Structure 1
Amino acid sequence: MNKQVKVHSALFLVALIYGANYSIAKEIMPEYVGPFGLIVIRVVSAVLVFGAISLFITKEKVESKADWGRMALCGLFGITLNQLSFFAGLNLTSPINASLIQTVSPVMVVLLSAFLLKEKLKVNRMLGILLAGLGAMLLISGKDSGQAQGNWLGDLLILFNAVCFGAFLVLVKPLMAKYQAITVVSRIFLIGSIGSIPFGIEQVTSPDYSTFPLSIWAAIAFVVIGMTILAYLLNIWAMKFASPALVGVYIYLQPVFAILISVYFGKDVFTWQKALYAAMIFGGVYLVSKPKKSTV
């Protein structure tokens, strides 16, 4: 398997994990664990796992204060603000609204990449983003009107989350050219946890965990192992070889997976219109990945 296929496979799997998370996390919040409590479970687990790998296996050190400063910004935008706004917003709004608003993030990635990384705004990349974004919006807007709707505060928090994640993808790119993925992710989770834990410490200590059914423990395990540890490692590893815009545009696959999962559990019907919208999304991903022949 060549490197290009590996990178796209990693980004595809990340999109699948995040697409499933919209429904799975809603099963946990707020009946069993509050949104900020779930964040504490995530970041503490990640700090322990990534920290142990970094300390005992890679043993790589951050070289300069400037790099620590950039990691601090990555921790702020990629963990603290990103997680607090996402789970608080998802707790208030519907998974459909959340996945729709997330499509703003790749636009921010392209704009910030042009401003901070001096990447050129090529025509095919912009067309790919527009095509994928249109496909995602048509796909989600095709849901039945009887489905649960979000509220303005939840939607606003998800929008802020999308902006923060876009900023994170751009900020972390130079670090990935210099350090191993585990070195970066362990530091940004450690920094991000400092800002996250105070908000969720009460919510994580108040539930009676002995009453949780097996299905909720499985959902928590998915959020911790799949969405947190595996998704972050795959995402950051892929950024060694992919542009921030390509990483960002894979967000457009999330609503595809969210609806497919709904179909599997009998909560939705797959139609030819949805197949067309999904094809638009894949076409957009292809256009964004095409510009540079030397990279993916």
Structure 2
Amino acid sequence: MMKSNINILLAFLAVMSLGTGGIFVKLSSLSSINTALYRILFSLLFLFPIIYKRIKAVDRKSWIIILFSGVFLAIDLILWNTSFQFTSVANANLFVNLVPFTTVPLSYYLFKEKAGKNFLMGLCISILGVIILMWGKFSFSCDGGYKGELLAFLASVFYGLFLLSVYKVRLKVDAASIMFISGLGAIPVLLFTAGVSEGIMFPHTFKEIGILLGLAICSQLLGQGLLSYCLGKISILLSSVIILSQPVFAAIYAYFLFSEILTLKEILGIIIILGGVYYAKKKPIHNVHSYE
């Protein structure tokens, strides 16, 4: 029980780190897809000294699965970063965190993991909390044709596919190797898309490099890396509910960085989200059949 709580805490720390991604993307002077490209590229440079020996032990099947997970991650980052051009950060944060709509049905289909009543109730409570927290911050504009919101939701679908792919191999491959191999799978997609749509850009100042390094370290290495680690310890379904808490950390960051005051409504939303996560984890996910 103690180990389970520690892993849940680590998952929250991962989501806390992932929550910095939007801040760094907005601060970056590079275009959206180029920013995503350097996020992955710089993370590979940090990971290589750690994994260059152990990566030889990864079997071929796992390599293929992880490489494909990198393709999903690349598409997620492309859609997520691009969504900022068409909608607000609040809107993008709301829709990109709807990962459970992808992971819940697919985890049952792929891994025969059935969500119990407590989990589904906790999921609904958490989504209600997110809506309360974000209410008043997001708004729809017919002029934009909901393009930004659609891109952010599609990003959540591909992020869910990334998590499901990682979950498949996490019991056999360590988190650092998964992050490195998935990065190798993501780089060609990001390079091609950036080259075609934006042209390859290069950071020219220490400030630009610092922002990209911050994105790579905080969001990719600490965020994605910790979450990948946790996927070998807790259920993919519980992980996806914990991801719903990302707007909580975004609100806290806004309070400290931009002096945005937390209203009673927002505090209530935060409490409801955390209550939903707690309720979702009260009863373990029932495994109908084990998977490889």
Tell me whether the two structures share a fold, i.e. TM-score over 0.5: yes
Match of 2:59 among 58, 63, 66: 63
2:219 aligns with 227
CA contact (8 A) 1:103 1:133 kept: no
The letter for the 2-side match of 1:46 is: S
Match of 1:193 among 161, 181, 187: 187
Match of 1:259 among 251, 255, 269: 251
Structure 2, gaps ≥5 residues long: 288-292
1:7 aligns with 7
1:71-220 equivalences under 5 Å are: 71-77=66-72, 79-143=73-137, 152-201=146-195, 205-206=200-201, 209-210=204-205, 214=207, 216-220=208-212
1:30-49 equivalences under 5 Å are: 32-49=29-46
Distance 1:94 1:206 in 2: 24
CA contact (8 A) 1:60 1:183 kept: no
1:249 aligns with 241
CA positional deviation for 1:208: 6.2
CA positional deviation for 1:163: 0.5
1:22 aligns with 22
CA positional deviation for 1:256: 1.2
The letter for the 2-side match of 1:34 is: S
CA positional deviation for 1:265: 3.5
The letter for the 1-side match of 2:277 is: V
CA contact (8 A) 1:101 1:155 kept: yes
The letter for the 2-side match of 1:47 is: L
Counterparts in 2 of 1:72 and 1:293: CA distance versus 1, 3 Å? closer
Distance 2:179 2:256 in 1: 33
CA positional deviation for 1:59: 4.2
Aligned residue for 1:92, secondary structure, equals coil
CA positional deviation for 1:50: 2.3
Aligned residue for 2:172, secondary structure, equals coil
Aligned length in residues = 284
Counterparts in 2 of 1:88 and 1:293: CA distance versus 1, 3 Å? closer
Aligned residue for 1:33, secondary structure, equals coil
CA positional deviation for 1:93: 2.0
CA positional deviation for 1:200: 2.3
CA contact (8 A) 2:39 2:220 kept: yes
Deviating more after overlay: 264-273 vs 114-123: 264-273
Deviating more after overlay: 238-247 vs 174-183: 174-183
Distance 1:152 1:36 in 2: 20
CA positional deviation for 1:76: 1.6
Aligned residue for 1:91, secondary structure, equals coil
The letter for the 2-side match of 1:241 is: K
CA positional deviation for 1:151: 6.1
The letter for the 1-side match of 2:64 is: G
Counterparts in 2 of 1:109 and 1:261: CA distance versus 1, 3 Å? same
CA positional deviation for 1:204: 7.2
Distance 1:125 1:46 in 2: 34
Distance 1:70 1:217 in 2: 31
Aligned residue for 1:142, secondary structure, equals coil
* Cα deviations by residue, 1:155-203 (Å, 9 ceiling, x for unpaired): 1111111001112212221200111112222111111112111222585
Distance 1:133 1:4 in 2: 23
Counterparts in 2 of 1:69 and 1:205: CA distance versus 1, 3 Å? closer
2:290 aligns with none
Counterparts in 2 of 1:177 and 1:91: CA distance versus 1, 3 Å? same
